[in-house]
Amino acid sequence: EVQLVESGGGLVRAGGSLRLSCAASGFIFSSYSMNWVRQAPGKGLEWVSSIISSSSYIFYADSVKGRFTISRDNAKNSLYLQMNSLRAEDTAVYYCARDLPGGDGDYFDYWGQGTLVTVSS
Amino acid sequence: SYELTQPPSVSVSPGQTARITCSGDALPKKYAYWYQQKSGQAPVLVIYEDFKRPSGIPERFSGSSSGTMATLTISGAQVEDEADYYCYSTDSSGNHRVFGGGTKLTVL
């Protein structure tokens, strides 16, 4: 059974930093691209960042580029998101999601339960 | 930036057919995907590549796409189908991964 378990969320002041982790199990982690997707309170889903299996290619949404860094450790079956220079608008539940190759691009097939990040101004 | 547009809400009575639309300029060339999110839970994939249904998803969920619009249809909607539904796709370059704004489905 595929499991994705996020951790590391919490309350942080604007301008501060936080590191999120996602522990993966039930599949060969090193074979899949992975993502972070967030959801602000009462709002919709927003893709944040993607990293391919080998870490050779990394992508960010414009809203976090230059402030967030995605990484992974395939030996530990873990995905990370280092968040710096946090802003109030970064307040959201952050989901870890696995990518599955589709006919014309990847899509998210499994999601974790999310971890809440609250940035106080 | 690329956008996918969904109606904010759809309401049906139990047993009726619910249709949720998603419009986007790249949809003639790109697949649409649909996610169901119940209150306080993580999203769940219900339709992929326009019309395919993952294992475990009830047959009453179906998808279609024509031109710039994709549609999620729930035939004989049930109370447990109440949720927010999000379409997902990419722009024509494949570089921008985008969700629609979400549609709240009410079944009562």
Interface of B with A in 21-60 (CB under 8 A): 29-31, 33, 35, 37, 41-45, 48-49, 54
A103 pLDDT more than 80: no
**Phi, psi for A76 (deg, rounded to 5):** -105, 5
Q: What gap in Å lies between CA A63 and CA B50, rounded to an integer?
A: 28
Chain A hits for B99, Cβ within 8 Å: 44-47
Q: What's the confidence (pLDDT) of residue B102?
A: 98
Diameter of chain B measured on Cα atoms: 41
Report whether A38 contacts A46 (CB < 8 A): yes
Interface of B with A in 58-97 (CB under 8 A): 86, 88, 90, 94-95, 97
CA distance A26 to chain B (A): 17
B42–A113 C-beta distance less than 8 A:
yes
B45–A107 C-beta distance less than 8 A:
yes
Chain B hits for A6, Cβ within 8 Å: none
Q: What's the confidence (pLDDT) of residue B12?
A: 97
B49–A102 C-beta distance less than 8 A:
yes
DSSP B91: -
Q: What's the confidence (pLDDT) of residue A117?
A: 98
Could you tell me the pLDDT band of residue A111, with boundaries at 50, 70 and 90?
very high
Q: What's the confidence (pLDDT) of residue A101?
A: 85
Report whether B89 contacts B75 (CB < 8 A): no
pLDDT 10s digits, A19-49:
999 999 999 999 999 999 999 999 999 999 9
Q: What's the confidence (pLDDT) of residue A38?
A: 98
Q: What is the DSSP string of B8-71?
A: SEEEE-TTS-EEEEEE-TTTTTS--EEEEE-TTS--EEEEBTTTB--TTS-TTEEEEEETTEEE
Q: What gap in Å lies between CA B50 and CA B32, rounded to an integer?
A: 5
Q: What's the confidence (pLDDT) of residue B96?
A: 86
Q: What gap in Å lies between CA B32 and CA B23, rounded to an integer?
A: 10
B31–A105 C-beta distance less than 8 A:
yes
pLDDT 10s digits, A68-99:
999 999 999 999 999 999 999 999 999 999 99
Per-residue pLDDT of chain B (108 residues; tens, 9 = 90+): 899 999 999 999 999 999 999 999 999 999 999 999 999 999 999 999 999 999 999 999 999 999 999 999 999 999 999 999 999 999 888 878 999 999 999 999
* Mutation site, A1, A35, A46, A111, interface B, largest B CB count within 10 A: A111
A105–B99 C-beta distance less than 8 A:
no
